[in-house]
């Protein structure tokens, strides 16, 4: 119900700010107003269709049916993208380094607060650790406009078993912001969430999803952004949580869980 009213509110604001006929209909009475609302709904649907001509990566598209985010659901099985390379002299993965490839990519906030993450990277850097900070995204991104930090890597699985994936979102009290959080694994989302007008301190751990995994490399990605009006804003952080076989609960990913190919700082 809140999503329905959010969509109506978005349509009302768009039409009121840019449509003189709609303003007159509001003042004239219920019948013209109803017609204007219906016309606005059709306009919003057409806008959403037009903006889908350039689809984002599979795990970034707004398709709720593809979200794995329930601990009560069945254990999912995912095939590794590549075999696990041999260990190097330091005990890591040969040909890879710990950490992410972090790119900034434009986002489009569609009617109803559906957020489209565009595919083209604007800037790209490397990032270590399980925690992704908005400060770091802003420091490496463009000076203005809306964009997200999209971190991509390979999840290095060394032992067969049941693993749990999740995210933890943290933001201290700050100016209001809308915050996007997504976790993709393979071709699906594990977490897909948009918090509207975050003001108070927030610490939120999302439900984990269990996966039965074999040794190998698995593609994993995180999209994160907080914005106010038409510019991204800090503070805020998103932490990747992984539950290894035998763990009581998911914990921040270990340094050797997430690896990126050596010399590759640009998200694929």
Please answer whether residues 194 and 182 qualify as being in contact, where contact means their C-beta atoms are separated by less than 8 angstroms: no
Please answer whether residues 194 and 179 qualify as being in contact, where contact means their C-beta atoms are separated by less than 8 angstroms: yes
Residue 86 DSSP label? P
Lowest-confidence region among 26-40, 85-99, 252-266: 26-40
Mean pLDDT across the chain: 81
pLDDT digit string (tens) for 192-217?
A: 999 998 888 999 999 999 999 999 99
How far is the C-alpha of 116 from the C-alpha of 52, rounded, in Å?
9
Tokens 């109506």 label which residue?
Answer: 8
CA angle 50/56/62 to nearest 5° reads 75
For each of the domains in the chain, give its residue range(s) and CATH number, in order of start.
Answer: 2-53 (no CATH), 58-261 (2.60.120)
CA angle 89/268/191 to nearest 5° reads 95
The verdict on whether omega for the bond into residue 235 sits within 30 degrees of 0, i.e. cis, is yes
What pLDDT sits at residue 47? 40
pLDDT digit string (tens) for 118-134?
A: 999 999 999 999 999 99
């Amino acid at each position: 119900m809140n999503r329905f009213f959010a969509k109506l509110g978005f349509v009302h604001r768009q039409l009121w700010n840019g449509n003189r006929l709609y303003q007159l209909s509001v003042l004239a009475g219920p019948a013209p107003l109803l017609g204007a609302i219906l016309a606005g709904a059709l306009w919003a649907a057409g806008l959403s269709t037009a903006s889908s001509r350039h689809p984002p990566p599979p795990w970034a598209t707004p398709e709720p049916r593809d979200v794995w985010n329930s601990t009560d659901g069945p254990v999912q099985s995912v095939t590794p993208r590549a075999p696990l390379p041999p260990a190097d002299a330091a005990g890591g993965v040969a040909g890879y380094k710990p950490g992410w490839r972090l790119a900034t990519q434009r986002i489009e906030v569609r009617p109803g607060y559906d957020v489209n993450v565009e595919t083209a990277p604007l800037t790209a850097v490397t990032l270590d650790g399980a925690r992704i900070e908005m400060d770091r995204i802003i420091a490496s991104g463009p000076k203005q406009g809306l964009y997200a930090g999209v971190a991509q890597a390979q999840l290095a699985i060394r032992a067969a078993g049941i693993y749990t994936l999740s995210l933890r979102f943290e933001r201290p009290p700050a100016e209001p912001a809308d915050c996007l959080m997504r976790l993709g694994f393979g071709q699906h989302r594990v977490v897909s969430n948009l918090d509207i007008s975050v003001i108070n301190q927030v610490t939120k751990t999302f439900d984990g999803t269990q996966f039965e995994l074999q040794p190998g490399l698995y593609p994993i990605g995180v999209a994160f952004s907080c914005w106010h009006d038409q510019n991204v804003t800090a503070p805020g952080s998103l932490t990747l949580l992984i539950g290894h076989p035998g763990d009581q609960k998911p914990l921040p990913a270990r340094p050797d869980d997430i690896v990126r190919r050596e010399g590759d700082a640009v998200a694929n």
